[in-house]
A = this chain, B = another copy of it.
Amino acid sequence: MKIALVGNGNVASHLYEALKNKTEVYQVNSRTMENFPKGCDIAVLCVKDDAISEVSEKINELSPVIVHTSGSVSMDVLSPFASHYGVMYPLQTFTKGIEIPYNEIPFFIEASDKETEGKITEIASLISENINFCDSDRRKKLHLASVFACNFTNALFGISFDILKENEFSTDDIKPLIKQTVSKLDILSPKEAQTGPAKRNDIKVMQAHLDLLSNNSDLKEIYRILSSHISGT
């Protein structure tokens, strides 16, 4: 299979790394289409959600199959641009210069037809052993779950690090705690693993924390609403 990975960002670069020694793959500049291979079998779009239609229109004639990699975009947006199309969503966050064990990335696949599903599965299987199928509606819920587990979690790390830096603590000192919080998920459910003042409904400590945050209404509100979620009050 001759694959065009269309995109200049981290997803395209990482998928290229994961595929380059396993099949005939080309990383294509999504603006200029530079490097688009002749006789391409499948184009995998690794571009921003908003650019999927625009880029699909450009490669309309260049590839018989078009696939996108987004968690939140319906497969159907590709239907005006190809008769065979689909989705290959890697549930992972890709960052420049950070290695990922590619073979552990869960892929979520959807396709317009069985033949295309076979092709997408073939590509994903070159990268990972964890291949799953799900339609666009379910994939959007998966994406929502990833926003809570990854994007929002990272925002909390940011708040924590800011408090540490303001008080001249090393942010490294909280990393063993963060790693342990994640390790616990292998053994306990998050509900079983929950600890802290909100879990104990320790009003005194929570009030003291809110007082420490008194000059930041944003953080106070986050503290309040997450504590109330945990304590169930």
The size bracket of the interface on A is 35 or more
- Does A178 lie within 8 Å of B182, measured CB to CB? yes
Q: How many chain copies does the complex carry?
A: 2
A232 to chain B, nearest CB (A): 10
Is the Cβ of A184 less than 8 Å from the Cβ of B225?
no
The CA-CA distance from A144 to B143 in the complex, in Å, is: 30
Any B CB within 8 A of the CB of A174: yes
A226: Cβ under 8 A from any B Cβ: yes
27 pairs of residues in contact across A and B, judged by CB atoms under 8 Å: A49-B205, A72-B197, A92-B180, A93-B195, A95-B187, A95-B188, A98-B180, A138-B169, A142-B164, A142-B167, A145-B169, A145-B174, A146-B177, A147-B197, A148-B157, A150-B195, A152-B223, A152-B230, A153-B178, A155-B194, A155-B198, A155-B226, A155-B229, A156-B156, A158-B191, A218-B229, A221-B225
Once A181-B93, A184-B95 are accepted as A-B contacts, the answer to whether A106 and B141 lie under 8 Å apart by CB is no
- A1 CB–B CB distance under 8 Å: no
Establish whether residues B226 and A149, one from each chain, have CB atoms under 8 Å apart when the complex forms.
no
A151 at interface (Cβ–Cβ under 8 A)?
yes
Mark each residue of chain A from 165 to 200: 1 if its CB lies under 8 Å from any CB of chain B, else 0.
Answer: 011110001111111111111111111011111111
Residue in B142, B168, B194, B208 whose beta carbon sits within 8 Å of that of A154 in the complex: B194
The CA of A106 and the CA of B172, in the complex, are separated in Å by 9
Residues 97-141 of A, flagged 1 when their CB comes within 8 A of B and 0 if not, give 110110011100000000000000000000000101010001011
> Which 10 pairs between the two chains have the least Cβ-Cβ distance?
A151-B196, A158-B190, A149-B160, A148-B160, A145-B163, A106-B173, A157-B190, A145-B160, A141-B167, A152-B226
- A222 an interface residue at 8 Å Cβ cutoff? yes
Interface residues of A (CB under 8 A from B): 48-50, 72, 91-93, 95, 97-98, 100-101, 104-106, 130, 132, 134, 138, 140-161, 163-164, 166-169, 173-191, 193-200, 202, 204-205, 208-209, 212-213, 218, 221-223, 225-226, 229-230
